[in-house]
Chain A
Amino acid sequence: MEDQAQIDEFKARIDAGGKVEVGDWMPEDYRTRAIRFIEMHGNSELMGALPERDWILRAPSLRRKLALTAKIQDEVGHGQLLYRVAEDLGKPREAMLEDLIAGRTKFHNVFHYPTRTWADVAIIGWLVDAAAIVSQTALRSSSYAPYARTMTRICWEEAFHLKQGEDAVLTLMAGTERQKEMCQEALNRWWGPLMHMHGPNTPAERDGDLAWKIKTKCNYDLRQEFLATYIPKIREIGLEVPDPNMRHDQATGSWLYTEPDWEELKTVVRGAGPASQERLGFRRFNYEETRWVRDAVLGSASVAA
């Protein structure tokens, strides 16, 4: 039984901007939420490697191949760092990987969609990473200090990814008519998932992660921040935003848009997205296929990957 006074004191400390370290006492709700949040972030880094890895072999130049391999290497490295943060909170890596491949835990919506052309890789590298950076930058002030520190390092590396993605998009847009078309088609395909990425407009008072300041900005504000920076850029390079209602409202200072289909988001993150089962199946298959390696080096008692 947790002591309410202790919880209140903890909450007051968080509200006053205090930070939590791994050895500190924390309410069970805080620990559970922090694990779930960080684990999902780690899962997303690992699952995010899959749609892009398909294109390592197909990258159209040596430079792009090097950049894409380096990017995915960073992402897997981020997954590893984030899992370590979650492990310190009490969930072993092995359990996280087993839960991931069994579909018991979640990963970001964008990684449930297929990549059709090289332009998808470019759009992901630019806009999916841009949207992620908006969230991740805010997470540098998370109340859970080890997570906040990890985010500082991750954001630094993500900034390079964003540059590479932007460069790949700019190259396509400065290219042939076919390349420009590819790029616009990719933006059209990714627009829905991009608008879903920061989540539904859950009121701040009903968002437990926000109450504990595990995350520090509400979904609506994160999306507004993303739109404010990137809508002008998207238009400037000659791409059309595939939402006729997208406009900046001078009166309120915010961006107006067609409300995304939140049911689709729910369906997708539950594992029923267009590529969800294929991706999970692929990871599950490879996890099983390489189990003997882990048995050989970690001992059969441990199956941690």
Chain B
Amino acid sequence: MIDEKLVPLLMALADDELVLGYRDSEWTGIAPLLEEDVALSSMAQDEIGHARMFYEMVSGILDKSPDSIALGREPSGFHHCRLVERPRGDWAYSMARQFLYDAADGVRLEMLTRSTHKPLALGVAKVIREEKYHRMHGESWIGKLAHGTDESHRRLEAALLQLWPDLPGFFEPVEGEAELVKAGVLPEPFSALLPRWWQVVEPVLARHGLHGPNLGLNAFSDHSGYGGREGRHSEDFVKLWNEMTLVYGVDPEAVW
């Protein structure tokens, strides 16, 4: 398999982590509790670190530096799902997104450990260890907010409903997916992960009384939240992109 064919997959993995890492770091300095401030900064660093690992793999293929890959693209050159580019919202939105994303990322990473592309399979093993803590963190907040006050319960439900239409976009196929599956780089198509994701998420939501006709696999409409993997993003991302490339864009050739 030609390495170039791996690029859209690696970019999707890297960009998801990069953009979510940016969103998490928006809580740095202003989180509801000092302990959580420290925790979110730490998770943001993990995510940027994971993104860097995937960019380094791309860097080896395209012969460009990881920074120029990360920061030197137009918004339409990014392949993250729309779920991660939404603004951080309130604490309920951020925590619910973290939980749903980490559950999805967990099943994705598990699949990638079976990839025939060895550097990828080995790389994700390390990521899995860190992501496990993120999922525990998100899951504990689902419980805290569900059983906290009426307001926290109401906000959590509203967050989940708001997030729901974006979720299928996580499982949107990447460019050249059929070929990647054929070569075993992707052991399965992304759409096969959706039921496994729900097996992780459903018991947690049920345990905390968070269910209903609008929260479930049946509530997903076809291709809802799609576009991200093809580089079609919302205004939210364009705003974020303007910020994240502000200094880099002063002189992309310079060393910062």
Contacts and interface: CB of A to CB of B under 8 A. Distances in A.
Interface of A: 46, 49-50, 53, 55-66, 69-70, 72-73, 76-77, 79-80, 83, 93, 117-118, 171-172, 174-176, 178-179, 282-283, 286, 289-297, 300, 305
Given A57-B26, A80-B34, A296 B151 contact: yes
Contacts of A79: 34
Interface stretch (B35-43, B111-119, B202-210, B226-234): B35-43
Contacts of A296: 144-145, 148-149, 151-152
B45 A72 contact: no
A173 B49 CA distance: 27
A57 B240 contact: yes
Scoring B29, B52, B247 by chain A CB atoms within 10 A of each residue's CB, the highest score goes to B29
A47 to B, nearest CB: 9
Interface stretch (B64-72, B120-128, B129-137): B64-72
Contacts of A178: 250-251, 254
A175 B254 contact: yes
Interface residues of B, number: 46
B32 A305 contact: yes
A65 B244 CA distance: 10
A172 B247 CA distance: 12
B66 A62 contact: yes
A70 B71 CA distance: 20
A62 B149 contact: no
Contacts of A283: 30
B216 to A, nearest CB: 25
B156 to A, nearest CB: 9
Given A61-B248, A76-B41, 19 more contacts: A56-B25, A57-B25, A58-B246, A58-B247, A60-B71, A60-B248, A62-B48, A65-B25, A66-B48, A69-B45, A70-B41, A70-B45, A171-B255, A175-B255, A178-B251, A179-B251, A293-B32, A294-B32, A297-B144
30 contacts: A46-B34, A49-B29, A56-B26, A60-B71, A62-B51, A62-B66, A63-B67, A69-B41, A70-B41, A72-B29, A73-B38, A76-B29, A76-B34, A76-B37, A77-B38, A83-B34, A117-B247, A118-B247, A171-B256, A176-B251, A178-B250, A178-B254, A283-B30, A290-B32, A293-B91, A296-B144, A296-B148, A296-B151, A297-B33, A297-B148
A297 B151 CA distance: 12
B211 interface: no
Contact of A57 (B31, B51, B244): B244
B235 interface: no
A300 B151 CA distance: 11
Contacts of A49: 28-29
